[in-house]
Amino acid sequence: MKEYLATVLARIKHLLLRVRTDLSRDLRVKIITIITIDVHERDVIEGFVIKKVQDQQLFVWQSQLKFYVEFKNPKDEKRVCVTRICDWSTYYNYEYVGNCGRLVITPLTDRCYITLTQALNLSMGGAPAGPAGTGKTETTKDLGRALGLQVVVFNCSDQMNYLSMAQIFMGLAQTGSWGCFDEFNRISIEVLSVVSTQVKEVLDAVVEMKANPNKSSFLFMEEEISLRLTVGFFITMNPGYAGRTELPENLKALFRSCAMVVPDIVLICENMLMSEGFATAKELSRKFMTLYDLAKSLLSK
């Protein structure tokens, strides 16, 4: 781990020098993305070195999102990329994500990844909840990016009825994409009670398909449709706003909740500074945040 840490640090140093040169916009975004991922890698490996992690079975190792290149079966020469986190694994899905940058990965992001992937492991949906600006939707999108999956975000409103929701679920089931339903508790309670039945139909079909891999379709609202196992449902909710409905119990039971709290701003600041080429970002980020905290507490809005 110590040897590997040295190579990661050397790579980050090289990228920092590179990002200071005159680059095209696309290349800059690409390098900033690599720095973002590498800085998280550096922090994780430093943690491993301090804790003297030497066993693959330890949770600190298991809980990281890891990628392996393996043979699909010993007779076949075809290699596949497998993604693992805890006891959940999936194939990398090679969906074209584009050069859109990645989220700064903080310990909160890691914890959210574990909860969401374990929800998928149990054939359930994920439900990150918390105040605005804590990265509920972004973390879901970022996990999809890491797995090479398409994530479609829907902003829910009280105009949605059960038929429009059924159309969305049909589309997601057939493409195997993830659906992230933003502010899900805006939908009226009458619709939500039907939606719970629709979600349950899809999730039950996923369980059945895992048990019987030869099965490829299921009955949804009296219509036979195909199903891809990568399908996932995620709902995000802001608690405590007026005019929001409380979710019915039968719908709550289908989603694993994950509490999102205030993100680690110092870490994010450090990452932002590093991706712009600052070598002493660690010290600078602390100074910056102290300055901003003072400004926040002393100045008027």
For the chain, the structural domain boundaries read 100-259, 265-298
Q: How confident is the model at residue 243 (pLDDT cuts 50, 70, 90)?
A: low
pLDDT in tens, 125-179: 999 998 888 999 999 999 999 999 999 999 999 899 999 999 999 999 999 999 9
CB 83 within 8 A of CB 147: yes
| pLDDT for 8 beyond 80 | yes
Q: What is the pLDDT at residue 242? A: 65
- Predicted local distance difference test score (pLDDT) of residue 263: 85
- Average pLDDT of the residues in 89-107: 91
Q: How confident is the model at residue 244 (pLDDT cuts 50, 70, 90)?
A: confident
pLDDT band at 237 (very low <50, low <70, confident <90, very high): confident
pLDDT of residue 279: 87
Average pLDDT over residues 36-49: 94
- Please state which of the ranges 42-46, 202-206, 238-242, 286-290 shows the lowest mean pLDDT: 238-242
Task: Please tell me the predicted confidence (pLDDT) of residue 217.
Answer: 94
Express each pLDDT in 47-95 by its tens digit.
999 999 989 999 999 999 999 999 877 777 888 999 999 999 999 999 9
Secondary structure of the chain as H, E, C letters: CHHHHHHHHHHHHHHHHHHCCCCCHHHHHHHHHHHHHHHHHHHHHHHHHHHCCCCCCCHHHHCCCEEEEEECCCCCCCEEEEEEECCEEEECCCCCCCCCCCCCCCHHHHHHHHHHHHHHHCCCEEEEECCCCCCHHHHHHHHHHHCCCCEEEEECCCCCCHHHHHHHHHHHHHHCCEEEEECHHHCCHHHHHHHHHHHHHHHHHHHHHHHCCCCCEEEECCEEEECCCCCEEEEEECCCCCCCCCCCHHHHCCEEEEECCCCCHHHHHHHHHHHCCCCCHHHHHHHHHHHHHHHHHHCCC
Residue 128 has what pLDDT? Answer: 94
Domain 100-259 has CATH 3.30.565.10: no
Question: Is the pLDDT score of 247 beyond 80?
Answer: yes
Q: What pLDDT, on the 0 to 100 scale, is given for residue 9?
A: 95
